[in-house]
Copies of this chain bind each other. A is one copy, B any other.
Amino acid sequence: MQIDTVEFFYAAMPEVTLEADGSQDALLVRVVSDDGHVGWGECEASPLTSIAAYVTPRSHGVCQPVSASVVGQAIDTPDDIRRIASEVRRRSMDLLQAAHTWSGIEIALWDLLGRRREEPVWRLLGYETSHPKVPYASMLLGSTPQETLERARAAREDGYRAVKVGWGAFGASVASDADHVAAAREGLGDDGELLLDAGQIWVDDVEAASERLEALARARVTWLEEPFVADAYSAYAALAARTPSVALAGGEGAHTASMATNVIDYGAVDYVQVDTARIGGIGPAADVAAHAVMRGVVYVNHTFTSHLALSASLQPYAGLADHRLCEYPVHPRPVALAVTREHLARDGNGEVRAPDAPGLGVDVDLAALDPYLRTVEILIDGVSLFRSPAATGNLG
Give chain A's interface residues, CB within 8 Å of chain B: 12, 16-22, 24-25, 44-49, 51-53, 55-65, 86, 89-90, 93-97, 99-100, 199-200, 203-204, 229, 231-234, 253, 255-256, 258-259, 262, 265-266, 278, 374-382, 385
Q: How far is the CA of A62 from the CA of B253 in the complex (A)?
A: 12
Q: Are A231 and B256 in contact (CB under 8 A)?
A: yes
Number of copies: 2
Q: Are B22 and A59 in contact (CB under 8 A)?
A: yes
Closest 6 CB pairs of A and B: A52-B52, A97-B97, A48-B56, A18-B61, A231-B258, A49-B52
Q: How far is the CA of A63 from the CA of B382 in the complex (A)?
A: 29
Q: How far is the CA of A21 from the CA of B56 in the complex (A)?
A: 17
Contact among B46, B58, B99 with A95 in the assembled complex (CB-CB below 8 Å): B46
Contacts of A379 in B (CB 8 A): 375-378
Q: Are B256 and A229 in contact (CB under 8 A)?
A: yes
Q: How far is the CA of A45 from the CA of B229 in the complex (A)?
A: 23
Q: Are B46 and A53 in contact (CB under 8 A)?
A: yes
Q: Are B20 and A60 in contact (CB under 8 A)?
A: yes
Contacts of A20 in B (CB 8 A): 60-62
Q: Are A89 and B229 in contact (CB under 8 A)?
A: yes
| Most chain B CB within a 10 A radius of its CB, from A60, A253, A375 | A60
Knowing that A22-B94, A46-B95, A96-B99 touch, tell me 12 more A-B residue pairs with CB under 8 angstroms.
Answer: A25-B57, A45-B94, A48-B56, A48-B57, A48-B385, A49-B95, A86-B203, A90-B200, A233-B262, A375-B382, A376-B380, A377-B377
Contact among B45, B253, B381 with A375 in the assembled complex (CB-CB below 8 Å): B381
Q: Are A46 and B377 in contact (CB under 8 A)?
A: no
> Distance (Å) between the CB of A59 and the closest chain B CB?
5
